[in-house]
Structure 1
Amino acid sequence: MPLAPPARAYDAVVVGGGHNGLVAAAYLARAGRSVLVLERLGHTGGAAVSTRPFTGVDARLSRYSYLVSLLPAKIVRDLGLDFRVRTRTVSSYTPAERDGRPTGLLVGGGERRTRESFATVTGSPREYAAWQRFYGMTGRLARQVFPTLTEPLPTRAELRRRIGDEEAWRALFEEPIGAAIEERFADDLVRGVVLTDALIGTFADAHDTSLVQNRCFLYHVIGGGTGAWDVPVGGMGALTDALAAAARAAGAVLATGHEAVRVDTDGRSAEVAYRTADGEGAVAARHVLVGASPHALAALLGAPPPPPAEGAQLKVNMLLTRLPALRDPEADPREAFAGTFHIAEGYEQLAAAHASAAAGRAPAAPPSEVYCHSLTDPSPLGPALAGRGHHTLTLFGLHTPARLFAHDHDTVREELLKATLAQLDAHLAEPLADCLATDADGRPCLEAKTPLDLERDLALPGGHIFHRELSWPHAQDGTGRWGVETAHPNVLLCGAGAVRGGGVSGVPGHNAAMAVLEATDAGR
């Protein structure tokens, strides 16, 4: 239910109660500012929520976003959040066939096992040595870049000096990531595993000259200064619940069911108009922080829209009664599914899938990744389900751009889902359908979300999970000191579309709050 009408004036109004908006609200309220958060939906959290998607089933899944890497420990400490993550025991498993026999590339479980797995699958010790050198390089880069995300934007030259590694700079900032991969790795399967980090949430080819794939890869390998992707204890909703509690405890007002519809500003003060199920209203503010997309910001200001955005992922949530057995007799499902299970993600397969989708055709062999987070954190499962061996399974499909669903959404979604699951079934000793739990109405516990579903559910432009293509984490023309500034001095962008946005990080929320505090402290 919507809350009582908010007061008439605040130091800051935050539009959007996603995780970034909540971070900004908590920081500002803790600094003594009066803060109002206007959230369109009936709950806060945005895409970082836990819900029970299956009727009558006691399983609370991370419905949209699901892993944590880019959230700085600084934000957790600063806001006193009761929030933890757990490290996955295995980084990844990629099924393969060698000499007519099923096998798989295991990354994790110790250095010896990983080295032996590389030798078995690739037939050479060179690929593992190249893997160690490459990720040693990205690890050194991550330790230099990640701390800058919560600092004022460095210039490109400053960031280059800070990294201090010309090989890394060339590989990630200057040339398409495909060149770096092909220069260092020979095995198609290994090349594909590396490339996937450049494609999650980004529709691009390995050799795209815009380097959008490089930016995606960069954000995937710098998180926490290590590049590790961890499971949130209690599901993703545990984070946004903790953020909402921190913001309220500091005095922020969170008004759900309040949709901001217009922002008027003269650069010094602003008015935000909103509507609810019961009518309309408006509040005054010194600063407005927009946690929604750049497209929503333009609409609020009555400004020309930015270029269109297009998401390219198929997100599938499932609940299983048991983990399926694998065709690889040496693979333990509890290990194989504990990390990232790569499907149809060989280097050439990824290229073929992108080419098909770019031409408007659904990939014949849709690439995807599968994760079983309940192996790391079973708490989202009710005790009875956990006791019977149930598990969650999350699938993230690549190269399925919104354009594919434009004319016959439901039919294309079902066909792509069928083709995607068939690719997974090809590596299983039993059909996945035999392992699916059923809900209270007897339906399989499976839901699929396309980019157009995300546009409808979460107002993500084109279903783009980063709101728009990711930016470099350094200053460029017009980016401002913190990367959150707009054409209006008192209107800031604090959502994923800000510079250094994307992913569940809280970084744009932190940086927008810092920009407000700097501006108001300087004006006192």
Structure 2
Amino acid sequence: MHPGKSSYDVVVVGGGHNALVSAAYLARAGLSVVVLERLGRTGGAAVSVEPFAGQPARLSRYSYLVSLMPEQLMADLGLDIRLASRTTASYTPWTRGERTGGLLVERPEGGATRRSFGDLTGSDEEYAAWQAFYDEVGGLAEAVAPTLMQPLPLERDLRALVDERVWRDVVEQPLGHAITSRFTDDTVRGVVATDALIGTFASMDDPSLIQNRCFLYHLIGNGTGEWRVPIGGMGAVTDALAGAAVEAGAEIVTGAGVSRIDAGPDGAEVTWHDGERDHTLTARRVLAGVAPWVLRILLGEGEDPESKPAGSQLKINFLLDRLPALKSGADPAVAFAGTLHLAEDYTQLERAYADAAAGRVPDPLPGEVYCHSLTDPSILGDRAGSAHTLTYFGLHTPAGIFDADPSARELATQRALASLNAVLAEPIEDCLATDADGRPCLEAKIPQDIERDLAMPGGHIFHGDLEWPWAPHRARLETPAQQWGVQTEHDSVLLCGSGARRGGAVSGLGGHNAAQAVLADL
């Protein structure tokens, strides 16, 4: 398929979920829009696949939970998307001498959560500290969340709405200080810290505060910070977005790899290829769903190895014939329903960071596990009731480790399995389903795979370090693009992906905000 014409109001480069959000909003507003996607399908990282031959399970291969996508955005676009809450927020197995147990955090928290904290720590003090901290952080989330679909607020205006202590703890000083001063138990500290490390390689004491920004993004979705399971898998989200864009009149062209953007003051020319020859389109505005580092290459600025982002995650997808039993005796249907933390005590996280920074695969390897099929059995097809999916997300596995040593992939995978087996009463290998060729149903993805599959530079799932979701005091906010946090150095080219100021994770915010900037400008 080729575009229906040679000139459009807007050309969207890339067909990820943010790009589709932009296309839907702009087409609904009456603009002519075409989306150019390099791959043979849309969705980017937010897709569902059947990775195991002969098994009908549809796994969310890369992105796996919906975090920040506002209810208002879904309503605006008339999306038929169902997001399910997980009854368990998290479960963290622990061992203290001869004692074993698990720290259970329910959703919503109730008596079992309080008792679980008491069993671990011997009193109610740590749970009281937990409640106080998250109440305060909740106040910050409630102030920030309503601004995400509006022009950027100024930092000073948000700060005036937030308790001074929590602003200092989350925004001004390394998060490790707040965690170690507010909590005393190593396991509890680690549970708090993990939200600062998803897709982010940092110590809790990192002066750059990238861990703080990651932590904030985990807590501001819809004002509650709840990350939900998309019914039907992540592909159901992007299928709905693509449908909304096409229904509104946008064109979507797959197999269209963009190779160059020539930007002028009032418009741009986009060169793309269909596998056989080059084609060009002109547009009043170009929206880039690709990472800013890639965009600079398309704009003719060349590759800059020094500024290339680098991801830091190990993703393993499993299909199981059954859920394994845990050493703690907890019901697997409860423990696996939310986030199951593995080797994520605070001291383990910091030691793992130090190992990885020195070029070593951490041992034990920290990570967390999710069982989406407990919340959404539909993704199992005719294996519903006789199988389960499992997703493992490993921390502190930066791309550089795998660049330096190709054997690190296998070592990291084995250490991930070891971290999981350490809390199980039976090896996870005994629970794995097999595919049509008799091979275990296990698929591992390192940052290099993400880069190869999705052209995300360095396999960085946020397209680069996250930024604060507000405008600094001295920010220039003269143009709509600047006001919405989607500007580039060219007036005719805007960011609409995870690299926008409020991008990152499956939210659609980058797409929404780029569309609003275009509508304010044209």
Q: Normalised by the size of structure 1, how large is the TM-score?
A: 0.96
Q: Distance in 2 between matches of 1:6 and 1:498?
A: 29
Report the counterpart of residue 482 of structure 1 in structure 2. Answer: 484
Q: Distance in 1 between matches of 2:21 and 2:323?
A: 37
SS where residue 325 of structure 1 aligns?
coil
Residue pairs, 1:104-503, within 5 angstroms: 104-108=102-106, 110-161=109-160, 163-303=161-301, 307-329=307-329, 331-383=330-382, 385-388=383-386, 390-409=387-406, 411-476=407-472, 477=475, 480-503=482-505
Tell me how many residue pairs correspond in the alignment.
513
Q: Which runs of 5+ in 2 are unaligned?
A: none
SS where residue 318 of structure 1 aligns?
strand
Q: Which runs of 5+ in 1 are unaligned?
A: none
Q: Post-superposition shift, 1:195? A: 0.1
SS where residue 466 of structure 1 aligns?
coil
Say if 1:482 and 1:512, in contact at 8 Å, map to a contact too.
yes
**Residues 335 and 519 of structure 1, relative CA distance in 2, 3 Å threshold:** same
SS where residue 76 of structure 1 aligns?
helix
Letter in 2 for 1:464: H
Q: Post-superposition shift, 1:381? A: 0.6
Letter in 1 for 2:404: H
Q: Distance in 2 between matches of 1:478 and 1:442?
A: 59
Q: Distance in 2 between matches of 1:387 and 1:95?
A: 26
Letter in 2 for 1:360: G
Instruction: Give the one of 8, 17, 31 matched to 2:29.
Output: 31
Report the counterpart of residue 76 of structure 2 in structure 1. Answer: 78
**Residues 225 and 213 of structure 1, relative CA distance in 2, 3 Å threshold:** same
Q: Post-superposition shift, 1:489? A: 1.0
Say if 2:320 and 2:390, in contact at 8 Å, map to a contact too.
yes
Q: Post-superposition shift, 1:295? A: 1.1
Say if 2:7 and 2:281, in contact at 8 Å, map to a contact too.
yes
Q: Post-superposition shift, 1:277? A: 1.6
Say if 1:12 and 1:33, in contact at 8 Å, map to a contact too.
yes
Letter in 1 for 2:45: A
Instruction: Give the one of 42, 63, 66 matched to 2:64.
Output: 66
Q: Post-superposition shift, 1:483? A: 0.5
Say if 2:3 and 2:251, in contact at 8 Å, map to a contact too.
no
Q: Post-superposition shift, 1:91? A: 0.4
Q: Distance in 2 between matches of 1:311 and 1:387?
A: 35
SS where residue 21 of structure 1 aligns?
helix
Say if 1:143 and 1:222, in contact at 8 Å, map to a contact too.
yes
**Residues 519 and 5 of structure 1, relative CA distance in 2, 3 Å threshold:** closer
Report the counterpart of residue 514 of structure 1 in structure 2. Answer: 516
Letter in 1 for 2:508: G
SS where residue 427 of structure 1 aligns?
coil
Instruction: Give the one of 95, 100, 103 matched to 2:101.
Output: 103
Q: Post-superposition shift, 1:122? A: 1.2
SS where residue 104 of structure 1 aligns?
strand
Q: Distance in 2 between matches of 1:357 and 1:267?
A: 45
Indicate the percent of aligned positions where both proteins have the same amino acid. 60
Letter in 2 for 1:194: V
Q: Distance in 2 between matches of 1:6 and 1:333?
A: 53
Q: Distance in 1 between matches of 2:356 and 2:343?
A: 15
Q: Distance in 2 between matches of 1:5 and 1:215?
A: 39
Q: Post-superposition shift, 1:323? A: 0.3
Q: Distance in 2 between matches of 1:210 and 1:316?
A: 29
Letter in 2 for 1:118: F
Say if 1:12 and 1:35, in contact at 8 Å, map to a contact too.
yes
Q: Post-superposition shift, 1:478? A: 5.3
Letter in 1 for 2:145: F
SS where residue 269 of structure 2 aligns?
strand
Say if 1:260 and 1:275, in contact at 8 Å, map to a contact too.
yes
Say if 1:344 and 1:423, in contact at 8 Å, map to a contact too.
yes
Say if 1:138 and 1:222, in contact at 8 Å, map to a contact too.
no
Report the counterpart of residue 50 of structure 2 in structure 1. Answer: 52
Say if 2:310 and 2:457, in contact at 8 Å, map to a contact too.
yes
Q: Distance in 2 between matches of 1:317 and 1:237?
A: 15
Letter in 1 for 2:69: L
Q: Distance in 2 between matches of 1:478 and 1:264?
A: 25
Q: Post-superposition shift, 1:256? A: 0.2
Say if 1:6 and 1:255, in contact at 8 Å, map to a contact too.
no
Q: Distance in 1 between matches of 2:312 and 2:476?
A: 28
SS where residue 23 of structure 2 aligns?
helix
Q: Post-superposition shift, 1:431? A: 0.4
Say if 1:24 and 1:513, in contact at 8 Å, map to a contact too.
yes
Q: Distance in 2 between matches of 1:6 and 1:137?
A: 53
Q: Post-superposition shift, 1:322? A: 0.3
- Larger deviation: 374-383 or 185-194? 374-383
Consecutive aligned runs of 4 or more in structure 1 exceeding 2 Å deviation: 303-306, 476-479
Q: Distance in 2 between matches of 1:478 and 1:412?
A: 44
Cα deviation digits, residues 41-67 of structure 1 (max 9, x gap): 000000000011111110111000011
Say if 2:3 and 2:34, in contact at 8 Å, map to a contact too.
no
Q: Post-superposition shift, 1:413? A: 0.7
Say if 2:84 and 2:229, in contact at 8 Å, map to a contact too.
yes
Q: Distance in 2 between matches of 1:248 and 1:5?
A: 13
Q: Distance in 1 between matches of 2:64 and 2:435?
A: 22
Q: Distance in 1 between matches of 2:141 and 2:470?
A: 14
Say if 1:264 and 1:270, in contact at 8 Å, map to a contact too.
yes
SS where residue 382 of structure 1 aligns?
helix
Q: Post-superposition shift, 1:5? A: 4.3
**Residues 514 and 304 of structure 1, relative CA distance in 2, 3 Å threshold:** same
CA RMSD of aligned residues (A): 1.1
Cα deviation digits, residues 247-278 of structure 1 (max 9, x gap): 00000000000011111121102110000123
Letter in 1 for 2:312: A
Letter in 2 for 1:514: Q
Q: Post-superposition shift, 1:138? A: 1.3
Q: Distance in 1 between matches of 2:302 and 2:183?
A: 45
Q: Post-superposition shift, 1:111? A: 1.2
Say if 2:64 and 2:234, in contact at 8 Å, map to a contact too.
yes
Cα deviation digits, residues 268-307 of structure 1 (max 9, x gap): 0211000012311000100000000001110111125562
Q: Post-superposition shift, 1:422? A: 0.7
Q: Distance in 2 between matches of 1:44 and 1:478?
A: 34
